[in-house]
Amino acid sequence: MARKVFIDPETSQIRPFWRGHLFLFDRPLGPGYPVQAATKLLAIFALLEFILRPLLAAGARWLTLTERPWWTLVQVTILTLLGGWLVTRFAGVCLSQLGLHSWKNWSKTEKLYFLQVIPIAIIVFSSVFSESLKGFWTRSDLGQIGLYIFLPRMIWGFYQEFVYRGLLQTELVRRWGTLTGILTSNLLFTFGPLHAYHFALSQGNPSHLWIFAATFGIGLFFAILYMRSGNLWMVGIMHGIGDWFIDGLAQVSKLAN
């Protein structure tokens, strides 16, 4: 009875407008790819995060590219496109099987939730970072900001969700179950190569370690949202918006007016 009233989208008395906020999506994620592709997905994750991304970073430092405004865009674009190519060509998995559905295939609940949450997130972040946004729209370099900061931050947020939720979490949940799979993938997201640099930053300021608590909490929210909705676009875009406000605005001052 409870399932009919609250969970089943065909019989639920909760309107689609509210269902997303309760994580009552119509299409919970389940691995739709063949079992033989499972190990390949984990191999792609390891290749991207433990080999290729560190090599790109080291190569950029050696070639003194890290200070070039275009480098971040090039780096995240290479990683994202390469990851998508490896998933489809090497692992033989359709991107839709990892939650990259076209808009027309989104459920009504997904669309309504997305169209509510994105404006709310932008309003909340704009309020929190109001000081950083003062005079933003009067700057003469908005084109550079859009190309070299906003766009890379959006792609970077999507890349993180694609790798840690789309590849790693999906496969670990399939192997070990929901709880263990989500917790393990989120622990790697929090303390693994993606955020390990915070350990070095905390040596002179131990309070900086609290960043891991925030990272784990935010990651857990995205993990559950992805698990319940099966929509990788949604968490990727939300993550990208967060990266833009939290990290992107801090870079804006580095661009010349």
Q: What is the pLDDT of residues 49-65, one digit of tens each?
A: 999 999 999 999 999 99
Domain ranges of the chain: 94-252
DSSP 185-234: HHHHHHHSTTTTHHHHHTTS-GGGGHHHHHHHHHHHHHHHHHHHH--HHH
- Split at pLDDT 50, 70, 90, the class of 10 is low
φ and ψ of 219, to 5 deg:
-60, -40
Q: How far is CA 225 from CA 33, 57, 99, in A?
A: 20, 31, 12
Choice between 18 and 8, residue whose per-residue pLDDT is larger: 18
CB 11 within 8 A of CB 4: yes
Q: What is the pLDDT of residues 148-184, one digit of tens each?
A: 999 999 999 999 999 999 999 999 999 999 999 999 9
φ and ψ of 53, to 5 deg:
-65, -45
